[in-house]
Chain A
Amino acid sequence: MSDTDTNHECVCAQLSEEELYPRLELIIEEHRNKPHELIMALHKAQNLFGYLPRKVQQMVAEGLKVSLNEIYGVITFYSFFSTVPKGRHSVKVCLGTACYVRGGQQTLEKVGKELGAKVGDTTEDRRYSLDVVRCIGACGLAPAMLVDDDVYGRVKSTKIMEILDQYK
């Protein structure tokens, strides 16, 4: 993996989608004609756009020499990748076994109720997307919840709104 600035930060909030395409070109250039690097390229593209719009899929497919049916099959297989725009903040409640046994399900229900969203949904104001993850490896902190890249451990239902409110 390289250290280009396209690598980590999601800049989709500041730039319009059109302005992101030149950056996508840079990512594609790194992986050009290397179909086996598809997953790495998709990670970077999704970091850039926040999701994988159809045009991005087409460009990555063409650049890496992967057929469209294959890229689509890969994207839908892995739970990291999304083809629909998500909310500005992704809220993921862990339902791995360790979190489950410590009340992950109740956390999920509470978060869902607070946001008025079901799993997989994005709130109407596009502020949050709610998803479930199966173990984030933070089992010592069960029940755990992820908001964007921040992990919250031992989530108490009374604290949920307080946590979510920090993300505008």
Chain B
Amino acid sequence: MMIKATINKIEVEVEEGTTILEAARIVGFKIPTLCYNPDLKPEGSCGICVVEVEGAPAMKRACMTRLERGWKVHTNTAKVRKARKEIVELILSNHEMDCLVCVKNQSCELQHVASLVGINTLTYPRIEKKWAVDTTSPSIIRDQNKCILCGRCIQICSNIQTVNALTLDQRGFNTQISDAFNEGMGNSVCVNCGQCTVYCPVGALYEKSHTDKVWEALNDPDKHVVVQEAPAVRAMLGEEFGMETGTLVSGKMHAALRRMKFDAVFDTNFTADLTILEEGTEVVGRIKANKNIPLITSCSPGWVKFLETFYPHLIHLASTAKSPQAMFGTLSKTYYAELKGIPPEKIVSVSIMPCTAKKFEAERPELRSSGYQDVDYVLTTREIARMMKEAGIDLREMPDEPADDPLGEYTGAATIFGATGGVMEAALRSAYFLITGRELENIDILAVRGMTGIKEMEINIDGLALKVAVAHGLGNARILLDKVSAQLANEGKSEYHIIEVMACPGGCVGGGGQPWGSDMARRARRNETLFAEDRSLPLRRSHQNPSITAIYEKFLGHPNSEKSHHLLHTHYFKRSPVDGKVVSE
């Protein structure tokens, strides 16, 4: 039903249930907000979006108040402006304002709001820094001194990801965001997905940076620094340089990295293709043996820790194939080292990821098949953008360049790894070939694409009805896994053969290491970018990648060979649902 009301004397007609905030946008008024985020349930904690409604005793919060018939709303009265200013001043009085040295400088929502409401003096004395910074996590730093207690991190962690790592601790003025027992995120069930860092409006949650170490390696003439970039990075690195959301920058990215003096610029897409061969062969084997079905993908390290922590009884279903990042790390210090005649200890393997959990993955003690830590440093999209800027590189000015051989060539199947459903689509393209020996004709498998939380489809491969499911966001993964778990317990088997899970909503394009303010709408656009690159590439099936054929011929033998197993496969651990620590193998 439509209702009529006025906002600043302008008549507005909206669907019943529309908030004042949304209605005001329709008639051209952008009410300032701070705690509000379109992807999350409004909590109304900051109060900056207050407006006056004629006849109402108190001001209303525009973000969470539904416009009612006949209301006369005023968004810009003297009283409203004074209240907003006062609120922002109160927040600033309790905020560690080291803005110039803050990771969020110039992308901080508090900074933005302070300038919007016109703060030009500070009335209240600043409080002293009172909290210790939490550095216990391998991936995420938590600095309470900057927190404004908007609650977004808790919502994304508990309601959307269902990890439940974060909570409000204490009350009133002493309230802080903490993990259960306040022992640090590194000692909690946090899976390092980093969604909290993406949604944090200020600099209270951000990635543990490896930039200094990478600079050090780049400046060390003794080190041979190689770099890989995950599929999703090319779909959003441009945003950090003011380019349109969804601009594809694969070639410019390779060029920029080369100018930063990386000794070899490879591409994670190469090992994404390799993953498909290993995982595809594994799934065909499991189906033939009718064992450990469904196979669940294991590329997403946040997801892997989630599985180990909350579904330890299902870890045998995870594909043993390492993630593309980890395969690359191993190959850079084995295959590439041999080929080049460089001692592996001199190789520094750097990865650029859309992901904070990859930092955790790199430090997993079992991922040392080369005899060294396979991946040394992990930079998020945000970190590499900062480094490029520091190096005086404007991505927009870069030419398009390909990645280096032998770990740089890739197919369209690899590039869609960054989108939800992409791993499944790539796997099906090759599995069809592995089973039938023929190529799948229509390789655009639309049923597994898109932003729907859980997607399912059945594909008939020469009479074998293969049922697959795709979940993105850990909340959706939980729903799917609960179903699988119940099916296995009750019927001894699941209806699914392959399940793809990506920890972050939207897939890697929505990763915890992506540019700040990465909302769901933007994630969908970035997904499109990856599918567009897929369509533009001459080869779109992983098994057709000539460099993949070459590495099997020269080095690995064949998919799932003994050498492959040794170098490219891994195992998982049961973890405690209390603190995420390993309890047994």
A–B contact (CB under 8 angstroms): yes
Q: Which 4 pairs of residues, A with B, have the shortest CB-CB distance?
A: A69-B167, A68-B180, A73-B167, A67-B164
Interface residues of A (CB under 8 A from B): 54, 57-58, 67-73, 76-77
Q: Are A54 and B168 in contact (CB under 8 A)?
A: no
Q: Are A69 and B170 in contact (CB under 8 A)?
A: no
Known A54-B181, A58-B578; judge A68-B170 contact (CB<8 A): no
Minimum C-beta distance from A95 to chain B (A): 15
Q: How far is the CA of A73 from the CA of B164 in the complex (A)?
A: 11
Contacts of A69 in B (CB 8 A): 158, 164-167, 179-180
Interface range on chain B (Cβ under 8 Å from partner): 10 to 19
Q: Are A71 and B180 in contact (CB under 8 A)?
A: yes
B189 at the interface (CB under 8 A from A): yes
Q: Are B158 and A77 in contact (CB under 8 A)?
A: no
Q: Are A68 and B189 in contact (CB under 8 A)?
A: yes
- Return the chain A residue nearest B576 by Cβ: A58
CB-defined interface of B170-196 with A at 8 Å, one 1/0 digit per residue? 110000001111100000010000000
Contact of A76 among B164, B169, B179, B578 (CB under 8 A): B169
Q: Are B171 and A68 in contact (CB under 8 A)?
A: no
Contact of A68 among B168, B169, B578 (CB under 8 A): B578
Sample (18) of A-B pairs whose CB atoms are under 8 Å apart: A54-B181, A57-B181, A68-B164, A68-B180, A69-B158, A69-B165, A69-B166, A69-B167, A69-B179, A69-B180, A70-B164, A72-B178, A72-B182, A73-B167, A73-B168, A76-B170, A77-B168, A77-B171
Q: How far is the CA of A54 from the CA of B169 in the complex (A)?
A: 15
Minimum C-beta distance from A93 to chain B (A): 20
Contact of B181 among A67, A68, A70, A77 (CB under 8 A): A68
Q: How many inter-chain contacts with C-beta < 8 Å in the A-B complex?
A: 37
Contacts of A68 in B (CB 8 A): 164, 180-181, 189, 578
Known A58-B578, A67-B164; judge A72-B171 contact (CB<8 A): no
Minimum C-beta distance from A133 to chain B (A): 15
Contacts of A71 in B (CB 8 A): 180
Known: A67-B180, A69-B167, A69-B180. 8 other contacts (CB 8 A): A68-B189, A69-B164, A69-B179, A71-B180, A72-B182, A76-B171, A77-B168, A77-B170
Q: Are A72 and B169 in contact (CB under 8 A)?
A: yes
Q: How far is the CA of A58 from the CA of B164 in the complex (A)?
A: 14
Minimum C-beta distance from A117 to chain B (A): 20
Minimum C-beta distance from A72 to chain B (A): 4
Q: How far is the CA of A71 from the CA of B158 in the complex (A)?
A: 13
Q: How far is the CA of A71 from the CA of B168 in the complex (A)?
A: 10
Q: Are A72 and B181 in contact (CB under 8 A)?
A: yes
Contacts of B168 in A (CB 8 A): 73, 76-77
Q: Give the residue among A69, A72, A73 with the most B Cβ atoms within 10 A.
A: A69
Minimum C-beta distance from B183 to chain A (A): 9
Contacts of B189 in A (CB 8 A): 68
Contacts of A77 in B (CB 8 A): 168, 170-171
Query: Which residues, 134 to 170 on B, are CB-close (under 8 Å) to A?
Result: 158, 164-170
Q: How far is the CA of A129 from the CA of B168 in the complex (A)?
A: 25
Minimum C-beta distance from A75 to chain B (A): 9
Known A58-B578, A68-B189; judge A73-B181 contact (CB<8 A): no
Q: How far is the CA of A22 from the CA of B391 in the complex (A)?
A: 64
Contacts of A67 in B (CB 8 A): 158, 164, 180
Q: How far is the CA of A77 from the CA of B167 in the complex (A)?
A: 11
Contacts of B158 in A (CB 8 A): 67, 69
Q: How far is the CA of A69 from the CA of B162 in the complex (A)?
A: 11
